[in-house]
Amino acid sequence: MVKPSYRRILLKLSGEALMGKQAYGIDDAILSGLSAEIREVVGLGVQVALVVGGGNIFRGIGTSRNFGIDRASADYMGMLATVINSLALQDVLERTGVTTRVLSAIEMHAIAEPYIRRRALRHLEKGRVVIFAAGTGNPYFTTDTAAALRAMEINADAILKATKVDGVYDRDPMLDPKAKKYSRLTYLDVLRKNLKVMDATAISLCMDNDLPIVVFNLTKKGNILKAVLGERIGTVVHGGK
């Protein structure tokens, strides 16, 4: 039997990754493929937590800038978009036989449990996939920061950040075919070069707690399992030791 490199992971999904090739919303094929891969990882005995963004439905900061909505209100609207994505993930995972719990930083008892750290740990220990919704529950903090914070709180071994590109580049590879891909980076590299891995707050949290980040392409089948097994895919952000 293959041996995972991590005992407990936090998988960070961008909302945009759930769109697939659509311009908006959730691609059923992406969701189904994602749930199948998570089921496979859980079957190896790995404890899995998820944080998903809401950019496929609503981007708080963009709406605040473009339409003049108060930034705090726009951020709360973005948090609610993450709840929609979390419930969609829960439904698909449950249909494939994976027991899940959605824990929301904003209390909404009819559809999710309130976030309580010890409760989250208990769910993970019982083999349930825990989906953290509504970010940190506070405006001005991204879901990247929420992912880093929750990863620290549950003592995750790594953050696996699934995106639409196969790692971290010095420039946007969608716009520049000559963009250079990095296989390994330190936290300081990311901050100094202003690379778009996660926001500076999230990177600083990971650096302070020496939590590695693996950035990889979600759309390529089998990549989540490869990342969990420690195979060389994407880009690894680490402390430089």
Residue 159, both tokens = 């953050």
Give the residue carrying structure tokens 């999710």: 112
Instruction: State mean pLDDT over 161-188.
Output: 90
Q: What is the pLDDT of residues 207-219, one digit of tens each?
A: 999 999 999 998 8
Judged by DSSP in three states, 14 sits in coil
φ/ψ of residue 186, rounded to 5: -95, 165
Q: String of b and e for 140-157 (b: at least 16 CB within 10 Å)?
A: ebbbbbbbbbbbbbbebb
Q: What is the pLDDT of residues 117-130, one digit of tens each?
A: 999 999 999 999 99
Q: Report strand pairing: 181-182 vs 213-217.
A: unpaired
Question: Does residue 1 lie in a domain region?
Answer: no
Q: What is the pLDDT of residues 31-62, one digit of tens each?
A: 999 999 999 999 999 999 999 999 899 876 66
pTM score: 0.93
Q: Is the pLDDT of residue 174 over 90?
A: no
**Mean pLDDT taken over the chain:** 92
Instruction: State mean pLDDT over 227-239.
Output: 93
Contact 146, 85 (CB under 8 A): no
HSE on the CB side for 220, CA within 13 Å? 16
Question: Does residue 3 lie in a domain region?
Answer: no
Domain containing residue 18: 8-238
Q: Is 137 exposed, middle or buried (0-12, 13-18, 19+ CB in 10 A)?
A: middle
Q: What percent of the chain has pLDDT over 90?
A: 75
φ/ψ of residue 77, rounded to 5: -65, -40
- For residue 189, the domain's CATH number is 3.40.1160.10
Question: Does residue 74 lie in a domain region?
Answer: yes
Q: What is the pLDDT of residues 56-115, one digit of tens each?
A: 998 766 655 667 788 899 999 999 999 999 999 999 999 999 999 999 999 999 999 999
Residue 128, both tokens = 């349930």
Question: Does residue 189 lie in a domain region?
Answer: yes
Q: What is the tally of structural domains in the chain?
A: 1
Q: What percent of the chain has pLDDT over 70?
A: 95
Q: What is the pLDDT of residue 163?
A: 86
